[in-house]
Amino acid sequence: MKVLVTGGCGFIGSHLCRMLLARGDFEVTNLDALTYAADPLALAEFHSDSRYRFVKGDICEWETVIEAMQGCEVVFHLAAESFVDRSLHRAAEFVRTNVDGTALLLEAARQLGVRRFVHVGTDEVYGSQDDPGEKATETSSLEPSSPYSASKAAGDLLALAAHRSYGQDVVVTRCSNNYGPRQFPEKLIPLTIVNLFDGVEVPIYGDGRQVRDWLFVEDHCTALLTALEKGKAGEVYNIAAEQDPEWTNLDVVKALVRMTGANANLVRFVEDRPGHDRRYAMSSSKIRELGWSPSLSLEEGLERTVSWYKANEDWWRPRLPKERSVPQHKWAGVHK
């Protein structure tokens, strides 16, 4: 089966491409613009594999998209601007890629007769689930808090509208926060790990009591394959670990301090991010009914992730920002 993966040099996209190619029955074209978040060498082991093709290009450019998508039966759409903090400073870039780019890809898929379009979304579109025990289902209202999640919600709605307007075979997935090897060290878990390795302060927003339902990246990818193979056109599928008990960000950081053997005094509480959602929680029973479930506990996944970063300093060190401490003025001009 010929598949187009957008954003295949990103964190999740590279794991998905690797999983598809390991299965043997997929040919993969990876369309990626190679933004700062990309790893151009993420799939280097496949560069001479005839089942893999890399196209450097922007999902907002029609000719490029048509060229990359030609002959593909399936699209996994992952290309996105994905970091909430950046979206608070540069919302327009997020709208361009996450909304305009999604609309263009859907239109191209319609014209080329793509059999199934899997649109990869996020739990952040549901906003904060502040009542303990409350879990968003696929029919819960969309209440995004950041320009990132608002742009992703718009992409989801465009995908669902393509199904209703044109009968396109579209499946929308919404996954909780991912972690694992090869995640850019700007996100909480890899940033914490590498700072702990280097004895650099670990910033935690606010009181650190935010709840995220962390899912190991490969478990997200197996859920995307389930959505491809068993999902119903026009449907949304939540993908979540459903940790019980729930973990706060502080719990995650404390576990990483323990696993790295670092000094707990490195943890610093810093000014919270504007609009920071308190708790994400989803029910994932709909995709579990299709036979999917996560393979790793959070403890196991974190241990694996720490081991990977320990063994792959060459990968993460060049990706670190020059300034390692959190600037005092980070939200200047953003907070009211």
Residues that bind ligand NAD (CB under 6 A): 6-7, 9-13, 32-35, 37-38, 58-60, 78-82, 97, 101, 120, 122, 152, 175, 177-178, 184
d(CA 103, CA 159): 8
Task: Supply the minimum distance, in Å, between the C-beta of residue 330 and ligand NAD.
Answer: 20
Identify whether 123 is a catalytic site residue.
yes
Contact 88, 150 (CB under 8 A): no
In 3-state terms, what secondary structure has residue 39?
coil
Q: Is 242 a catalytic residue?
A: no
Least separation, in Å, of the C-beta of 99 and ligand NAD? 11
Nearer Cβ to ligand NAD, position 101 or 185?
101
Catalytic residue among 52, 148, 237, 280: 148
Give the nearer residue to ligand NAD in terms of CB position, either 10 or 294.
Answer: 10
Distance in angstroms (rounded) separating the CA atoms of residues 105 and 59: 7
Name the region of 234 (left: φ>0; alpha: ψ -120 to 50; beta: rest): left
| C-alpha–C-alpha distance, residues 173 and 201, integer Å | 35
With respect to ligand NAD, which residue has the nearer C-beta, 116 or 152? 152
| 67 is a catalytic site residue | no
Catalytic residue among 32, 123, 219, 242: 123
Residues 6+ apart with CB under 8 A from 3: 20, 26, 27, 28, 29, 72, 73, 74, 75, 76
- Smallest distance, ligand NAD to C-beta of residue 36, A: 8
Q: At closest approach, how far in Å is the CB of 263 from ligand NAD?
A: 28
Nearest residue to ligand NAD on Cβ basis: 10
Identify which of residues 61 and 201 has a Cβ nearer to ligand NAD in the complex.
61
Catalytic entry in 27, 32, 124, 242:
124
Residue nearer to ligand NAD on the CB measure, 103 or 201: 103
Q: Which residues pair with 268 in a beta bridge?
A: 203
- To ligand NAD, the closest distance from the beta carbon of 328 in angstroms equals 26
Helix, strand and coil content of the chain, in percent to the nearest 5, comes to: 40, 15, 45
The residues carrying an active-site annotation are 123-124, 148
